[in-house]
Structure 1
Amino acid sequence: MKGLGGQKVLLVHSSSNKPSGGGPGSPAMGRRRVWLVVFLALFACVSLASMLSSARDASSAVGGRRRASAAVAKVAASTAKKGRRGDAAADAALGPGLPGYVFDALVQYAAVGGNTSGSMPAADVRAIAAALKRRGTPCNLLVFGLGGETPLWRALNHGGRTVFLDENQWYVSHLEGRHPGLEAYDVAYTTTVREFPDLLEAARAARAAECRPVQNLLFSDCRLAINDLPNHLYDVAWDVILVDGPRGYTASSPGRMSAIFTAGVLARARKEEGAATDVLVHDYEREVERACSREFLCEENREKETSTRSLAHFVVRGGSAVRREAFCGGTGSTATAAQ
């Protein structure tokens, strides 16, 4: 049996199929997986809760901003409403025309611009504006002459009727294109400044006939009467008439004799009882304007406190009390005009 006591054989067995404590299928690994799932679930719940809380906070902030904006808007609306009531009370005297502060601002800017060449002097702009304001706008405003102040007169009479008459047909068309809605007509004057003495003398001789103070200008034979305007203009009750045209600074210019005469007749032809028309004549320092104003508008009707050196303000009355046989009373217009 000696052979059995020799070399010994060592047999190595492979690992058993029984799972060990550290393998993937061990109970320890299963517990770790359970805890991992629980942790992830808790994390997801916490994250979801945080997101919901943030959304609620954002919604509350937006709602707060909206409520604050609504409160500010409510206060602003209340303040604006009070302001509107205050403005309405302050501007009640001007009626439905421009608010008083807008009216005054326009006059102020125009008066400042009046310091430039070719513009109406600031004192005259303010005097005309004051006459319009005292009359009350909107009203019926007739203006002889187009110029730099045309947009101003139209704006100051906002809501009323403003009509312009000018000798230059091209200029009428030009301004109508620049100012849509402007109502302007061209007038064909048949007089010149050099004819002024003869025209005035003829009008005085015919004051009881074709050149009488109350008449239908459409059918007038008086050479100073303007009778080629659109017919409907003769039926308007003009509240204010401004004579700032036509040209009158040279002997060949048309002169303002016809404009002043026509303004005087239009004012006296008003049928409303107690009616009065404010007639303003610019460039009153010139001989033609001064003499014709005294002849046909009358010194007795002149408002000296609202006149300036170059602007005369007359208040001419119509209705049943108007004088029909002569333009002026007192000692007569001839003596007055000669002064």
Structure 2
Amino acid sequence: MRPKTKNPFNLKLLIIPTTLVFFLIFILRSNLSPSSNITTSPRSNIRQSKSLPKTKAEMKCPKNYCGKIPQSISEALIHYSTSTITPQQTLEEISITSRILEEYSPCNFLVFGLGHDSLMWHSLNHGGRTVFLEEDESWIEQIKRRFPMLESYRASYGTKVSQANDLMHVGKGIECTAVSDPRYSVCQLALKGLPSEVYEVEWDLIMVDAPTGYYEEAPGRMAAIYTAGMMARNRRRRGGGGGGGTHVFVHDVNREVEDKFSMEFLCEGYLKKQEGRLRHFVVPSHRDDLERPFCP
């Protein structure tokens, strides 16, 4: 998720931060209900006199607060309008996830990876819980100093990209296709050392954009992809959208590991959309239907 060094005169450095600013403003306007937008039409008078149920926006917005920009949104706008560092994902890729967040936030959003786009995800899920998992402890501390409002934890991976083929074979075994809580799984791909709250929260969205996976000795995203899929299958409640499943996003599917493992463990049959290097899956819960096949 951490961007590579780019030419300081690259036009993208100007276009993307500016676009993100307008994008965040758009999300803010669609979720808040400022007093300046209240009309005096007969319909609005009827609404006030009969005390009709509140709209979704009004229920999300505390009394006497709807006309004020939340601090997290303000900080994101300032950060992205003044920074020359842009997120790794393109605007088209970001839009896939943001449209789901626009519909379901505030929600529970788990992100494998901590980077310069983390403040954006936190802000787009305003009022919800966004948690980031990162392999590099020093990087966590560095980001925490800059953005203390972000909730992040260290994730340890005992895998290497060079082991991907062997792990693919292991993952097809019955011990890995049986639905269970990842922390108690006997599958070699399951991540078992995450904080307890990561396993206990019902995640509405999961983004896999880490750990590092572009060289042979890197941990790779095999376990992250598998664990995301198992969390979705083991979910107690149905969730929202796409037939009541968990929305799982995998970035960098142009690479072999991300391509093959997402199709195998999140399933091609659950794939909803691909834009550039990002795939969007909706994985249903299997807890109420243990006869449901691992993939449709």
Q: Which residue of 1 aligns with 2:3?
A: none
Distance in 1, matches of 2:93 and 2:109, equals 17
1:288 to 250, 257, 261: 257
Identity of aligned residues (%): 36
**TM-score scaled to structure 2, two decimals?**
0.71
1:83 to 28, 36, 46: 36
Taking a change above 3 Å as real, the CA distance of residues 161 and 117 of structure 1, as seen in their structure-2 partners, is closer
Distance in 2, matches of 1:286 and 1:256, equals 11
Distance in 1, matches of 2:275 and 2:58, equals 24
Q: Which residue of 2 aligns with 1:203?
A: 171
Taking a change above 3 Å as real, the CA distance of residues 108 and 201 of structure 1, as seen in their structure-2 partners, is farther
C-alpha contact 1:141 1:240 (8 A) present in aligned 2? yes
Matched, 1:249 2:218: no
Q: Which residue of 2 aligns with 1:219?
A: 184
Taking a change above 3 Å as real, the CA distance of residues 302 and 323 of structure 1, as seen in their structure-2 partners, is farther
Provide Cα deviations, 1:234-270, integer angstroms capped at 9, x if missing partner. Answer: 1111000001100111111111110100000000111
Provide Cα deviations, 1:294-331, integer angstroms capped at 9, x if missing partner. Answer: 11111111112xx20200000011154555674213xx
1:238 to 188, 193, 203: 203
The structure with more helix, counted as a fraction of residues: 1
C-alpha contact 1:268 1:318 (8 A) present in aligned 2? yes
Taking a change above 3 Å as real, the CA distance of residues 112 and 224 of structure 1, as seen in their structure-2 partners, is farther
C-alpha contact 2:179 2:286 (8 A) present in aligned 1? no
**TM-score scaled to structure 1, two decimals?**
0.63
SS at structure 2 position matched to 1:297: helix
Figure out how many residues of one structure are paired with residues of the other and give that number.
Answer: 242
Matched, 1:192 2:160: yes
Distance in 1, matches of 2:222 and 2:152, equals 20
Note the C-alpha offset of 1:172.
Answer: 1.1
Q: Which residue of 1 aligns with 2:276?
A: 309
Note the C-alpha offset of 1:219.
Answer: 1.8
Matched, 1:167 2:135: yes
Provide Cα deviations, 1:205-227, integer angstroms capped at 9, x if missing partner. Answer: x2x22x12411222222121111
Note the C-alpha offset of 1:179.
Answer: 1.4
C-alpha contact 2:234 2:287 (8 A) present in aligned 1? no
Matched, 1:177 2:142: no
Q: What root-mean-square deviation, in Å, do the aligned CA atoms of Structure 1 and Structure 2 show?
A: 3.5
Q: Which residue of 2 aligns with 1:55?
A: none
Query: Larger C-alpha radius of gyration, 1 or 2?
Result: 1
| Higher RCO structure, 1 or 2 (CA under 8 Å, sep 6+) | 2
Counterpart mapping for 1:83-162 below 5 A: 83-85=36-38, 92=56, 96=60, 119-134=88-103, 136-162=104-130
Note the C-alpha offset of 1:115.
Answer: 9.8
Distance in 1, matches of 2:38 and 2:286, equals 39
Taking a change above 3 Å as real, the CA distance of residues 225 and 97 of structure 1, as seen in their structure-2 partners, is farther
Provide Cα deviations, 1:161-185, integer angstroms capped at 9, x if missing partner. Answer: 1100011011112212221232111
SS at structure 2 position matched to 1:314: strand
C-alpha contact 1:268 1:316 (8 A) present in aligned 2? yes
Show structure 1 runs of 5+ residues with no match: 1-79, 330-339
Distance in 2, matches of 1:283 and 1:265, equals 20
Matched, 1:327 2:284: no
C-alpha contact 2:76 2:119 (8 A) present in aligned 1? no
1:297 to 237, 248, 266: 266
Distance in 1, matches of 2:233 and 2:168, equals 19
> Which segment is superposed worse, 218-227 or 236-245?
218-227
